[in-house]
Structure 1
């Protein structure tokens, strides 16, 4: 479904298929303590694994991994991914992460999500794109609602972070809703 790995351009960001040239940015992203907290990432990724990961994403037609780069200087500021494809039910998951404070609050995430959803709903048969956001990530939840995601429910105590339990809020956007937004 995602054999086409496009370059998508907006006012603030350009989305590019991830590749080895983006490993330095990915390394910054996965080593930012605030990013790991916001994404609930407990694991540690080694540099070699990051290089292999970004070097192999183009080979997979069941997912779309795009680097978020600024339009002004092509600086890597994050990634947006469509993954967990369920081809029978025409649905997938959306995941996004920005590199941290230097990318937060600048509209990069909202524009990246709009660009990837515009592409997905216009060029594939996808009907549903879903995501989860942790209850303490108000900034992300606000952006998801603003771009058109609707809250569907809550997975209670889905994340244990530094000894405290947090809920995961489930959200989705459907192709018909996206078309009339």
Structure 2
């Protein structure tokens, strides 16, 4: 599967993406707002990439590639999709700092995957959780049509051990702003 916009291409992840993904997830700026487990070695990330399950309705994981440079810059997914209720959860990160600062790469990737979820997967709702202090991400989510629905107090533990509130956001089919 390949989803393409003006700036990015969303594509299946390959085993050779392991080094880039390892660099992303070990970058403190990327990991700052991510729910991270224990640190992973490059060998462990390689193994995960090699053994990655096939994309299915329940979980679609795609690499975000800068189209002009054909360079992996992040990862986006729709997970826990349930056809009975037409809902899935979205996760995204731009791991390459060069593409993180307002160039529109993350925004376009979100729009492409949300459109795919609504049109191809026949989802009715896409939901996500974001750390309350991550205002940059919240701004992008609102810009493309997500609305804030609630707050889960002190539900996220940062890398420094400090607790933060999480914001629940969702978008219904027909609310995607292009």
Contact 1:17 1:65 in 2 (8 A): yes
Pairs aligned (count): 175
Whether contact under 8 Å (1:83, 1:93) holds in the other structure is yes
Residue-by-residue CA offset, 1:21-79 (whole Å, 9 max, x unaligned): 21121111111001111214242122233123223435241211111111111111001
* Structure 2 CA distance for aligned equivalents of residues 83 and 32 of structure 1: 24
Q: Which blocks of at least 5 consecutive residues in structure 1 are unaligned?
A: 1-5
What's 2:6 paired with? 11
> Which residue number in structure 1 is paired with residue 134 of structure 2?
137
Instruction: Select which of 45, 50, 61 maps to 2:45.
Output: 50
Specify every segment of 5 or more residues in structure 2 that has no aligned partner in the other structure, as ranges.
none
**Structure 1 CA distance for aligned equivalents of residues 7 and 175 of structure 2:** 24
Structure 1 residue ranges, 4+ long, deviating more than 4 angstroms after superposition = none
Is the Cα contact below 8 Å between 2:19 and 2:42 reproduced in 1? no
TM-score, normalization by structure 2: 0.91
Which of 146, 170, 173 is residue 171 of structure 2 equivalent to?
A: 173
| Aligned counterpart in structure 1 of residue 117 of structure 2, from 114, 117, 120 | 120
User: Equivalent of 1:38, from 27, 33, 37?
Assistant: 33
- Residue 62 of structure 2 corresponds to 66
TM-score by length of 1: 0.89
Q: What secondary structure sits across from 2:112 in the alignment?
A: helix
